[in-house]
Structure 1
Amino acid sequence: MLSVSVLDANRSELAADFSGATPAYARLDDSAIKEGYFKHIRYLVREFKPDYLVIGIEVNELKLRSPEKWDAYRNLITDVKSRIRQLYPALKISESISLHNLYEADVSDPQSHVEDIMNHINQNDFVAVSFYPFLKNLRTNTDFQRALEFLHKQAIAPIALVETAHIAQNLLIPNLNVSIEGTENEQRAYLETVLENADSQGYEFIIWWAHRDFDALWETFPDEVRDIGQLWRDTGLLDENGEERPAFSVWQSYFKKSCQELGAKFGLPFLAH
């Protein structure tokens, strides 16, 4: 899977160029932006040859933070998608949504907001989902299941969790006014819930981000991104020392089961065993 975004990290503005400046534009669907993003995506697909393409990341957050740009964004991305599909008809294309910011969205008319987002997203080849339940303060099996059932009711196309994780220890970031409790058992419970739903609902795939705590990498982050980077630092199935957390055995068990099923289906004994 290849994941690319035309939006900045806050999902409220066009991404900066190589100089770090935001290009001047009147609307997100200006012809120059359409042409530039098409050429960018065409180059990346040609180089990486993905089976799945996420052509926009957590795009529902643009409607939350810069709603006046939403219609122009849809025009932009629809134009680029149609041109890429003509070149690569077998490529599965989508735009990801952040479930933690769509489920129980903090807007004046949640139903209309969700309908508008999903009417657009369901036109894709699959529904690409980013989900970090701790950012919504979801902590129990019941919480996790309700959020996923909400997703199932909204999605028409097949679902893929293109990035997901849950913290395994408390998250405290004073500069962001963030204080969230987390435990290894909560992480395990979330992963179990996700995998059970993936099995029963036929998800395309799941990507856990990241598989190991990145404390050592985080220490090298520039000051301006250290706080935001800490949000996902302690979500690994392995801790910062490479020690397995309880959720790791859950992942391994499901992975082995999937391999066995594939091996039996296609007569590949090295997978079945």
Structure 2
Amino acid sequence: MLLAGSLATTRPFHMGFTQWPADLTAEGVAKSVNFANAHGDLISVMFIGGIPWDASLSGGKYSADVDKNLAYRPPAGKKLFLSISPLDQSRAALAPNWGEKDNQPLSSKWMGKALDDPDVVGAFTNFALRSVAAMKPDYLAIGIESNVLLSKNPAKWEQWKRLHQATYRAVKAKNPDLPIFFTVEVNHFLKNAAEAKESDQIGQVKEMLPFEDIFAMSLYPHMANQIPRPFPSNYLDFARQFKKPIAISESGMTSADVKLKSFGLTLHGSEEEQKLFVERVLGIAARDKYSFVVNFATTDFEALCKRLPPPADDIGRIWSLTGLQTADGKAKPALKSWDTALAQSFRRD
């Protein structure tokens, strides 16, 4: 098992971050981008602000903002993990529109459409195909934390299954060697989220495994107080039952307690807990030969949260201290453990 300070010289998984900004300033963006480039061999790009529905359906020209994002290329030698989703950020309804900018309201044409409506299937599939053709990712998620829909809006789950299957088949037909999958939010999957208690998470996800090339998990243990502390070394053993390659699509552990005034909650954490979480996740990834591990935030982003109105500011604070460096650029103890693993040469037997 790979752990910080171990004698291992190789690792079987890629490591990386998203480029989520430390602040909504040029400096804040640059700080996160530079850190991600320096401390990983994989860059995670997540389009979480919607889908250009009309242009994707018609095959028409995308807006300058969409084209700018599709033009992204990782630095030389870095792998690219691209994530798109037909669901909105609540994971409960159709994604918003991405036009001249993202997160725009849906037009009356799209409002209320079923997830398996032919127009939705056609537009989402075309966007996936155009994104792959433009960006040539090494990994592709066509759903982000999709199982949360099963908890929050189970009536739409069967619709989503048909949408995912159709998109998977179409993209796979043209890109047979590209790993394609949806990501699974672990707190819902293990029913640590209240909304998930009545859902058949394991059974429904198992049913979709033929349309999953990787079992990819979204992992934030500080969001569920019932998860034992420190983070258990056997916590992710359940993933092995699916007999699929495994990955961590996004993750994080808060390095200090976070008070969420809007919700009357405190999420608990410390720098030592964050360090142990990183070490244990990397150790599990080495043991089980994961495909990749992503820590969502490079840098703490309290400054960004202060710019948001309530309750969005508190929602952001859930993850605001999960970076591996502080907002002023100071390395946290977890970063040394991360970099120790990164220094080991990538080799997948």
The aligned counterpart of 1:251 is 338
Does the Cα contact within 8 Å between 2:113 and 2:120 map onto a contact in 1? no
Higher helix share: 1
Deviation larger for 116-125 or 193-202: 116-125
For 2:142, give the aligned amino acid.
I
Does the Cα contact within 8 Å between 1:122 and 1:157 map onto a contact in 2? no
The aligned counterpart of 1:140 is 229
The aligned counterpart of 1:271 is none
Query: Are positions 1:9 and 2:97 aligned together?
Result: no
The aligned counterpart of 2:211 is 123
The aligned counterpart of 1:51 is 138
Alpha-carbon distance between aligned partners in 1 of 2:264 and 2:324, rounded to the nearest angstrom: 26
Alpha-carbon distance between aligned partners in 2 of 1:63 and 1:97, rounded to the nearest angstrom: 11
SS in 1 for 2:93: coil
Query: Are positions 1:166 and 2:253 aligned together?
Result: yes
Alpha-carbon distance between aligned partners in 1 of 2:210 and 2:248, rounded to the nearest angstrom: 15
Query: Are positions 1:20 and 2:105 aligned together?
Result: yes
- 1:195-244, Cα deviation, whole Å (9 max, x unpaired): 11001000001011112112233333455632211111101111111111
Alpha-carbon distance between aligned partners in 2 of 1:128 and 1:136, rounded to the nearest angstrom: 19
For 2:221, give the aligned amino acid.
P
SS in 1 for 2:211: coil
Alpha-carbon distance between aligned partners in 2 of 1:202 and 1:158, rounded to the nearest angstrom: 8
Deviation larger for 222-231 or 29-38: 222-231
TM norm structure 2: 0.69
Instruction: Tell me the CA shift for residue 161 of structure 1.
Output: 0.3
Matches within 5 A, 1:138-217: 138=227, 140-141=229-230, 143-153=231-241, 155-217=242-304
Alpha-carbon distance between aligned partners in 2 of 1:41 and 1:126, rounded to the nearest angstrom: 17
Alpha-carbon distance between aligned partners in 1 of 2:310 and 2:159, rounded to the nearest angstrom: 34
Instruction: Tell me the CA shift for residue 62 of structure 1.
Output: 0.2
The aligned counterpart of 2:44 is none
Deviation larger for 11-20 or 194-203: 11-20
The aligned counterpart of 2:129 is 42
Q: Which has the higher contact order (CA 8 A, sep 6+)?
A: 2
Alpha-carbon distance between aligned partners in 2 of 1:59 and 1:156, rounded to the nearest angstrom: 20
For 2:170, give the aligned amino acid.
R
1:108–1:194 CA distance, 2 compared to 1 (3 A): closer
For 2:255, give the aligned amino acid.
A
For 1:127, give the aligned amino acid.
F
1:204–1:191 CA distance, 2 compared to 1 (3 A): same
The aligned counterpart of 1:75 is 162
Does the Cα contact within 8 Å between 1:92 and 1:126 map onto a contact in 2? yes
For 1:136, give the aligned amino acid.
A
For 1:130, give the aligned amino acid.
S
Listed as ranges, the gaps of 5+ residues in structure 2 are 1-80, 99-103
Q: Which runs of 4+ in 1 moved over 6 A?
A: none
The aligned counterpart of 1:91 is 178
SS in 2 for 1:162: strand
Same amino acid, percent of matched pairs: 27
Alpha-carbon distance between aligned partners in 1 of 2:309 and 2:90, rounded to the nearest angstrom: 17
- 1:121-142, Cα deviation, whole Å (9 max, x unpaired): 463111111000111223524x
The aligned counterpart of 1:269 is none
SS in 2 for 1:186: helix
Deviation larger for 174-183 or 69-78: 174-183
Does the Cα contact within 8 Å between 1:218 and 1:233 map onto a contact in 2? yes
Instruction: Tell me the CA shift for residue 86 of structure 1.
Output: 1.2
For 1:48, give the aligned amino acid.
M
Does the Cα contact within 8 Å between 1:38 and 1:80 map onto a contact in 2? yes
Instruction: Tell me the CA shift for residue 116 of structure 1.
Output: 1.4
Alpha-carbon distance between aligned partners in 2 of 1:157 and 1:187, rounded to the nearest angstrom: 27
